[in-house]
């Protein structure tokens, strides 16, 4: 099937050109229509910058190169007006912080209606009760009451639902959710994740969910992409990657989660820390923390190895990690 | 001090906040953030407090740090009521108890160098600056930071390193009790594991007692000996960590544990019903508006804490039948008494 989103050779650099900070490097990624893709990675892995590059919401000083094809259009070459028309309609985003993404001075109804009005610039009038319908669709209790309330009167989970409702009001072809559940309690996290799945089922949307919460990715996504220091290190079907991770970083990341064995809880920290993007080593960025690194890992960047159908990784020891 | 006197003993502590009146003649509304909470933390052990946001966990941490005074009950540390201390006792208490908070960015002054940050508590307790800062390399080493870190400013550290710095600062005055309020929640998974391993190691080496607040049950279980589960200001279940988080009795804990296990497919375990309003709490059991087992007893009567054996206490009318699998799912109960 023709991918909905096709990213080729995407690079994002910040800072002065003589000492660039490569926040995203050489990313190739396809997302099929109606597919849910999880992007996992720690802070500094470039996952949020990647989303910003797709949505074109990065600061002006970011230098973006490569190609981002969305539904047959090249996003990086659209003018601002064309991009703005795409955003919110075909391409939408939910951000991490439900506290600051809503304006405290306007009612929820006001803000949802503003989005609806924006989507219907073509002249079609605003249906009464449109905002209530949006809130009902994200299972907010008492939507008739909520439209008259202000953001501070809603809990964090409710606000996140409002944002998901706003982002999906126009049934986008692709929704990008950047850490959508990070600040929320477990019971509410699951409810938000379920909304994304419903969005795929009812509106046929594809979803990219970016998070460091591996359990959310495992349960929601069809495919998982693991990033480290701005690069994709492993990508594959979610079940396969979680069952049998191949990249040493993916393995270390999964081992660092607390797991219960009998009466004891075990976790294995990854030694060392995430490298400074401004002074990356010439080889594999994970080599300094990798338990199986060889000389070549420190000296040369690993090539792509396709280890199974749609499962690829970038590791010099790809053959031996099976 | 007797041999089995606990480090911390809370007896029926509560905290009620009064909200500003909506109108000049209107009645001021009151919100109970913590209601009738009792627990004991033995020396050298960890008491883990879990619950959703707004359940009152942090209010309890603040009481132990004397940042909030309880409006009910009695809170003692090593037998001493901490809200009836002489100034000298209070000074000694503030050395004995230290805290590490969630946000490693907001809790370190950006203008202070690391050596000053970690030695600040010593200076606050009267040690001359030179002498205090001379202790910095030692403190940094204990938390696994290199000696040259002493000369850096907070912005030069990663989130995990900042949290190490915050722990080093807390340890500077040789405390006996650490209040850890979501200390790893803001950290990446791999870094989180490092800091958790450090906290466990510190406890074993220094014999520290911890109050550990978290919402990630696996993390809480990694460190805790005893666990208390809070719901809307009340402790609904308390007992040995292994039991409470492995064979929970209270329907709320059971739901939390099922959600946290991550084994169930998405949507298989859901919280039903509605969150109660803290301004207008439901009658009877506070959890009945979300509990699938709730029946009319739960509307009419507030469940008392009952002894379930092996120091395991639970506040549920029906836990025996719930655990045995014989309780009919007649809830949630949304109507008022």
pLDDT at residue B29 tops 90? no
Place of tokens 């998982």: A224
Contact call for residues A107 and A113 (beta carbons, < 8 A):
no
Listed in sequence order, the DSSP H helices in A168-274 are 186-203, 214-220, 238-243, 248-255
DSSP H or E segment with residue A134: helix A130-137
pLDDT at residue A128 tops 70? no
- How long a stretch of residues is chain A? 322
Distance from CA of B192 to the nearest CA of A (A): 8
Structure tokens that stand for B160 in this block? 């995990």
Q: Report the pLDDT value the prediction gives residue A127, as an integer from 0 to 100.
A: 66
Residue whose C-alpha is closest to residue A232's, from A39, A13, A22, A21: A39
Q: Report the pLDDT value the prediction gives residue B225, as an integer from 0 to 100.
A: 96
Q: Which residues on chain B place their C-beta less than 8 Å from a C-beta of chain A?
A: 52-54, 158-161, 188-194, 196-197, 215-216, 218-219, 221-222, 242, 246, 255-256, 259-260, 262, 265-267, 269-271, 274-275
Q: Which phi and psi angles does A311 have, rounded to 5°? A: -125, 115
Q: Which phi and psi angles does B132 have, rounded to 5°? A: -65, -45
Residue from B193, B216, B223 whose CB has the most chain A CBs within 10 Å, to mutate? B193
Class at the top of the CATH hierarchy for domain A5-90+170-321: alpha beta
Task: Write out pLDDT tens, residues A21-46.
Answer: 999 999 999 999 999 999 998 888 89
B247-261 average pLDDT score: 89
Angle at the Cα of B241 from the Cα atoms of B240 and B247, rounded to 5 degrees: 90
Q: Looking at beta carbons, which residues of chain A come within 8 Å of B216?
A: 258
Listed in sequence order, the DSSP H helices in chain B are 57-64, 87-96, 114-124, 129-134, 136-142, 159-171, 189-206, 217-223, 241-246, 251-261, 296-300, 319-324
The span from the CA of B156 to the CA of B148, in Å, is 12
- The strand pairing partners of B93, in sequence order, are none
DSSP letter, residue A97: -
Show the domains of chain B with their CATH numbers.
8-231 (3.40.50.300), 253-324 (no CATH)
The span from the CA of B80 to the CA of B98, in Å, is 17
Q: Return mean pLDDT, chain A.
A: 88
Angle at the Cα of B241 from the Cα atoms of B238 and B243, rounded to 5 degrees: 85
Q: Report the pLDDT value the prediction gives residue A320, as an integer from 0 to 100.
A: 82
Q: Do B267 and A185 touch (CB under 8 A)?
A: no
Task: Write out pLDDT tens, residues B146-177.
Answer: 888 999 999 888 888 888 899 999 999 999 99
Q: Do A253 and B265 touch (CB under 8 A)?
A: no
Q: Whole-model pTM?
A: 0.85
Q: Which residue has the higher pLDDT, B271 or A94?
A: A94
Q: Where are the domains of chain A?
A: 5-90+170-321
The span from the CA of B157 to the CA of A47, in Å, is 21
Confidence of residue A124 (pLDDT cuts 50, 70, 90): low
Place of tokens 């859901």: B270
Q: Report the pLDDT value the prediction gives residue A121, as an integer from 0 to 100.
A: 54
């Amino acid at each position: 099937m023709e991918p909905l989103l096709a990213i080729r050779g995407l690079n994002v650099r910040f800072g002065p050109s003589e000492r660039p900070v490569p926040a995203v490097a050489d990313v190739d990624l396809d997302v099929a229509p109606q597919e849910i893709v999880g992007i996992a990675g720690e802070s500094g892995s470039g996952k949020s910058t990647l989303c910003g590059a797709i949505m074109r919401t990065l600061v002006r000083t970011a230098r973006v190169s490569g190609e981002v094809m969305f539904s047959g259009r090249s996003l990086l070459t659209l003018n601002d007006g064309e991009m703005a028309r795409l955003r919110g309609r075909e391409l939408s985003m939910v951000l991490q912080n439900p506290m600051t993404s809503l304006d405290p001075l306007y009612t929820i109804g006001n803000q949802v209606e503003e989005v609806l009005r924006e989507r219907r610039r073509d002249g079609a009038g605003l249906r009464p009760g449109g905002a209530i319908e949006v809130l009902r669709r994200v299972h907010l209790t008492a939507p008739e009451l909520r439209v008259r309330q202000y953001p501070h009167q809603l809990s964090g989970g409710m606000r996140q639902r409002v944002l998901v409702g706003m982002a999906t009001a126009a049934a986008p072809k692709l929704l990008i959710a950047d850490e959508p559940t990070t600040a929320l309690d477990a019971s509410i996290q699951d409810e938000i994740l379920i909304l994304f799945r419903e969005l795929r089922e009812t509106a046929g949307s594809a979803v990219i969910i970016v998070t460091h919460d591996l359990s959310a990715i495992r349960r929601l996504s069809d495919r998982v992409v693991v990033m480290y220091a701005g690069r994709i290190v492993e990508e594959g079907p979610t079940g396969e990657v979680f069952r049998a991770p191949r990249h040493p970083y993916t393995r270390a990341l999964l081992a660092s989660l607390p797991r219960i064995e009998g009466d004891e809880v075990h976790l294995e920290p990854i030694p060392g820390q995430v490298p400074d993007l401004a002074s990356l080593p010439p080889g594999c960025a994970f080599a300094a923390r990798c338990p199986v690194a060889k000389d070549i890992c420190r000296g040369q960047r690993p090539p792509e190895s396709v280890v199974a159908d749609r499962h690829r990784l970038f590791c010099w020891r790809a053959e031996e990690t099976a | 001090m007797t041999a089995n006197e606990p480090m911390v003993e809370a007896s029926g502590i509560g905290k009620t906040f009064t909200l500003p009146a909506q109108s000049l003649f209107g009645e001021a509304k009151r919100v109970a953030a913590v209601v009738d909470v009792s627990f004991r933390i033995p020396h050298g052990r960890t008491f883990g407090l879990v619950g959703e946001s707004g359940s009152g966990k942090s209010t309890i941490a603040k009481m132990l740090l004397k940042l909030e005074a309880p409006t009910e009950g009695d809170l003692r540390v090593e037998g001493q009521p901490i809200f009836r201390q002489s100034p000298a006792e209070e000074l000694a208490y503030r050395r004995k108890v230290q805290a590490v908070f969630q946000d490693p960015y907001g809790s370190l002054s950006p203008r202070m160098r690391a050596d000053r940050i970690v030695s600040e508590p010593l200076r606050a307790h009267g040690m001359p600056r030179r002498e205090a800062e001379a202790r910095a390399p030692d403190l940094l080493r204990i938390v696994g930071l290199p000696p040259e870190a002493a000369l850096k400013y907070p912005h030069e550290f990663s989130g995990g390193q900042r949290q190490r710095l915050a722990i080093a600062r807390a340890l500077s005055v040789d405390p006996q009790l650490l209040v850890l309020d979501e200390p790893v929640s803001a950290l990446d998974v791999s870094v989180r594991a490092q800091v958790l391993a450090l906290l466990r190691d510190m406890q074993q080496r220094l014999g520290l007692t911890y109050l550990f607040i978290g919402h990630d049950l696996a993390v809480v279980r990694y460190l805790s000996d005893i666990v208390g589960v809070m719901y809307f200001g009340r402790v609904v279940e308390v007992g040995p960590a292994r039991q409470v988080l492995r064979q929970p009795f209270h329907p709320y804990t059971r739901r939390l544990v099922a959600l946290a296990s991550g084994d169930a497919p998405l949507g298989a375990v859901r919280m039903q019903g509605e969150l109660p309003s803290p301004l207008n709490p439901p009658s009877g059991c506070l959890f009945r508006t979300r509990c699938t087992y709730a029946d009319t007893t739960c509307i009419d009567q507030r469940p008392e804490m009952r002894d379930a054996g092996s120091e395991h206490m639970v506040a549920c009318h029906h836990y025996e039948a719930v655990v045995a699998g014989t309780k009919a799912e007649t809830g949630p109960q949304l109507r008022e008494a």
